[in-house]
Amino acid sequence: MRYHRPRGTQDIPPDEAPRWRFVEKTFRDLCRRFDYGELRTPVFEETELFVRSVGEDTDIVSKEMYTFEDKGGRSLTLRAEGTAPTVRALIEENLQGQDRERLVKMYYVAPIFRQDRPQAGRYRQHHQAGIEAIGSSEPAVDAEIIDLALTFFEELGIEGTRLLINSVGCRDCAPQFVDTLKASVADAVDSMCRDCQRRYDTNPLRLLDCKQEVCREVTENAPMMLDLLCGECECHFDGLREHLEALAIAYEIDARIVRGLDYYTKTAFEFRHEALGAQDSIGGGGRYDELIKQCGGPDLPAVGLGAGIERILMVREALGLRDEDEPRDGSFVVAIGDDAWFPAYRLLHDLRREGVKAEIDYRRRSIRAQMRYADSQGYLNAVLLGGDEIAKGIATVRDMISGEQEEVPLEGLAEYLKERREG
């Protein structure tokens, strides 16, 4: 083995690709029903886009980006996250159009690159199915996005998804909260873990989700953002809850959900599944009302979501939801004897042109070997062609499930095979 795939990446061989296609198809179909349009953006962007939107102090920007310089000396970064490119495209392509009030709804399925240390459920290249709804501050839209995600999981057969919601406030109330939080913890900072001592200065909100026992004790009685929301944010959060309840969506309020990206305002949410290990989040998102303006666009509020395809596949695996074996289909042309080779080769060509999935054994082996191969590879029919058939202008079609055989004239063979597939 000379070459390896880069650490943290995966090959998806042909026998696994159908699982991916199923998840993607389910998502795309759902997006169509919810009326989200697909947006495709480049795999790399200007580095600054991520730095400025995600935030300099976040883990993503400070240590996880795949950044490189092109020959013109520009700093570029492989897509580290899905929202920033969407916002960039919205502004750059003027996707909003003339109707400033219009709700722009877009989705994407794209690879995401982060240079983390790989572990169960964490890859350096992973894939996210995401949606963004731009142009409304209505909590009904937040709820729609959560609804779409939960419907997505359900249609994939995934049960037992937990929904955690929180509000991280806005430009007005969040800073005040941070001050209050720091004040309440100030006396105990020295007793907290090293990371938290650093966070106290760099990213105080993170103090709340430290898993260290000591730190949890310190923050146990700390103020909660939810208690200090400004009137507007509180109203929005209540509105979200009302809409979720209207849809009979169960949720848990978890004041420690903060999310690792700086642009979130008001709503933050996360989906978790216990079937996974330490990395149990299968999706998450929130509102980013300031981001678009901050990126140089119009002042538009927005909400979005990203779901991890690898983790969804892992949950399906853990729940025993592996797709059933593909049903048998296609025809295997069996050439009987050397004289039958060219007629069989020609028949293969004709069948394919007429819309039939067909294959032949290029090794020109014994009939027994050809039949065994046709069986093990899951073909539905064996189309036998030998001296007898050629003389009569027919082919012998063998049903590989029942073993029944029928002689079929060559002229109608393609149609016959296509019908059999349906039946």
Partner RNA sequence: GUGGGCGUAGCUCAAAGGUAGAGCACCUGACUGUGGCUCAGGUGGCUGUGGGUUCGAUUCCCAUCGCCCACCCCA
Cα distances (angstroms) measured from residue 282 to each of 55, 128, 162, 309: 23, 10, 10, 8
Residue 9 CB, shortest distance to RNA, in Å, is 8
Secondary structure element (H or E) that encloses residue 310, with its range: helix 309-318
Rounded to the nearest 10 degrees, how much is the dihedral formed by the CA atoms of 270, 276, 278, 281? -10
**Selection from 275, 274, 305, 271 nearest residue 287 by Cα:** 305
Compare residues 94 and 377 and give the one whose CB is closer to RNA.
377
Is residue 212 at the binding interface for RNA, with CB under 7 A as the rule? yes
Rounded to the nearest 10 degrees, how much is the dihedral formed by the CA atoms of 197, 198, 202, 206? -60
- Do the beta carbons of residue 36 and residue 302 sit within 8 Å? no
User: Which window, 135-143, 165-173, 346-354, 373-381, contacts RNA (CB under 7 A)?
Assistant: 373-381
Is residue 366 at the binding interface for RNA, with CB under 7 A as the rule? yes
Residue 11 CB, shortest distance to RNA, in Å, is 11
User: Which window, 32-40, 69-77, 381-389, 411-419, contacts RNA (CB under 7 A)?
Assistant: 381-389
Residue 309 CB, shortest distance to RNA, in Å, is 8
Size of the site for RNA (CB under 7 A): 76
Secondary structure element (H or E) that encloses residue 134, with its range: strand 125-134
Is residue 409 at the binding interface for RNA, with CB under 7 A as the rule? no
Is residue 397 at the binding interface for RNA, with CB under 7 A as the rule? no
From 209, 234, 350, 359, residue interacting with RNA (rule: CB under 7 A): 209
- Do the beta carbons of residue 156 and residue 321 sit within 8 Å? yes
From 75, 176, 191, 405, residue interacting with RNA (rule: CB under 7 A): 405
- Written as six digits, the tokens of 283 are 């999706």
Question: Would you give the binding string for RNA spanning residues 112-151, x where CB under 7 A is met?
Answer: x-x-xxxxxxxxx-x-x-----------------------
Q: Pick out residues in 333-362 that bind RNA (CB under 7 A).
A: 336-337
CA distance linking residue 276 with residue 278, whole number of Å: 7
User: Quick one: DSSP state of residue 62?
Assistant: I
Residue 199 CB, shortest distance to RNA, in Å, is 7
CA distance linking residue 316 with residue 10, whole number of Å: 18
Q: Pick out residues in 268-327 that bind RNA (CB under 7 A).
A: 270-271, 277-284, 306-308, 310-311
Q: Pick out residues in 153-172 that bind RNA (CB under 7 A).
A: none
Is residue 375 at the binding interface for RNA, with CB under 7 A as the rule? yes
